[in-house]
Amino acid sequence: MKNFEFLFTAWMVVWAAFFAYEVSVARRISQVRKEIESLKQQLNAL
Amino acid sequence: MRLRGALTILIAGLMFFAGYAALFIAPDEKTMHAVQRIFYFHLPSWIAMFSAMCVVFYANVAFLTTRQRKFDALAVSGVEVGVLCCTIGLITGPLWARPVWGIWWTWDARLTTTFILWILYVSYLLLRGLLEDPEKKASLSAIFGIFAFLDVPLVYLSNRLWRTQHPQPVIAGGSNSGLDPLMGKVLLLCVVAVFCVMVLAYIDRYRLELLRNEVDELRFAIESRNTAAASVSGAAARKVS
């Protein structure tokens, strides 16, 4: 297949971009959830 | 949570099938051959980007008229997902252009307006990072978002209004436009797959923004209680003295 490397790179870019973005959002959600828990504990302690 | 997992697997499966169809089922294009198959993910990423930016525009207008923070959350989530789709389009485009045109990039009307669009929405995200006050941040970014949206129709119309290196539209173009029926079906499948991924990412990012709003509210509540406690203890100290 001629120019297959361009097709393969484009295909990998699409997958990698969506996958990396989903992982980054999931990480940020878990960090914010932890922050919410600690803030709730602080609020209850007051 | 189980439903969310099932949905992710379903959409990943749809993406795999769309990829398989784009690589093995779609007919070979006569002049460009294999590299033309980039089209099946290049065009859907732009359709996903345009859809996200239309929601952002609606959310920006809705925020300025109602002042509800959920619209600000909807807008910033859409910009982030839209920038992701725009970045994919801006990377897959040159990867297609290099073997076909012999160059990675040219400053024609379509490519230039698209690059400006990417810069505008990246600036939107940077602007939000610079502002501390949530109300000011939401208002200014809504105004900036409406201004940035002016470039969206310009990008869409650029290769219809001016002569560009970028090809003329193959769908909804002139009388010479159109696709092979099988190519059209595979393209439709890829559009649905990429659109579903975009919606999934959008929903997750929106959830994150709502959680961040909750953090702001909790911080405000702690600050209010601390201030109230400090004023009570100050008053008690004055009474004793």
At residue A2 the predicted structure's pLDDT band, cuts being 50, 70 and 90, is confident
Q: Cβ contacts (< 8 Å) between B34 and chain A: which residues? A: 1-4, 7
Which residue of B15, B39, B101, B197 is the best one to mutate when testing the A interface, meaning the one whose CB has the most A CBs within 10 A? Answer: B197
Subunit contact A36:B34, Cβ cutoff 8 A: no
pTM of the model: 0.91
Subunit contact A6:B99, Cβ cutoff 8 A: yes
Subunit contact B34:A43, Cβ cutoff 8 A: no
What pLDDT is attached to residue B82? 98
Q: Which of residues 4-33 of A touch B (CB under 8 A)?
A: 4, 6-7, 9-11, 13-15, 17-18, 21-22, 25-26, 28-29, 32-33
User: CB contacts < 8 Å between A and B, how many?
Assistant: 92
Subunit contact B33:A1, Cβ cutoff 8 A: yes
3-state DSSP assignment of residue B131: coil
The per-residue b/e assignment along A1-21, b for 16 or more CB within 10 angstroms, e otherwise, is eebeebbeebbebbbebbeeb
Long-range contacts (CB closer than 8 Å, 24 or more residues apart) made by B167-175: none
Identify the residue with better confidence: B172 or A4.
Answer: A4
Q: Cβ contacts (< 8 Å) between B99 and chain A: which residues? A: 3, 6
What pLDDT is attached to residue B212? 94
What pLDDT is attached to residue B186? 96
Q: What is the residue-wise DSSP string for B29-98?
A: PTTTGGGGGGHHHHHHHHHHHHHHHHHHHHHHHHHHHH--HHHHHHHHHHHHHHHHHHHHHHHHHHHHHH
Helices (H), B102-180: 109-130, 134-149, 151-161
B128 dihedral zone (left: phi>0; alpha: psi -120 to 50; beta): alpha
**For B93, which residue in chain A has the nearest alpha carbon?**
A10
Long-range contacts (CB closer than 8 Å, 24 or more residues apart) made by B147-152: B147/B120, B148/B117, B148/B120, B148/B121, B148/B123, B148/B124, B149/B53, B149/B56, B149/B57, B149/B60, B151/B113, B151/B116, B151/B117, B151/B120, B152/B50, B152/B53, B152/B54, B152/B57, B152/B117
Closest partner residue to A39 among B15, B95, B219, by Cβ? B219
Q: What is the ipTM of this complex?
A: 0.93
What pLDDT is attached to residue B3? 85
Subunit contact B84:A33, Cβ cutoff 8 A: no
What pLDDT is attached to residue B179? 84
Helix (H) or strand (E) holding B15: helix B2-20
What pLDDT is attached to residue B111? 95
Would you call B139 exposed, middle or buried from its count of C-beta atoms within 10 A (0-12, 13-18, 19+)?
Answer: middle
pLDDT in tens, chain B (241 residues): 688 889 999 999 999 999 999 999 999 888 888 899 999 999 999 999 999 999 999 999 999 999 999 999 999 999 999 999 999 999 999 999 999 999 999 999 999 999 999 999 999 999 999 998 889 999 999 999 999 999 999 999 998 888 888 888 777 767 767 788 999 999 999 999 999 999 999 999 999 999 999 999 999 999 999 898 888 888 777 777 6
**For A20, which residue in chain B has the nearest alpha carbon?**
B84
What domains are there in chain B, each with its CATH number?
20-227 (1.20.120)
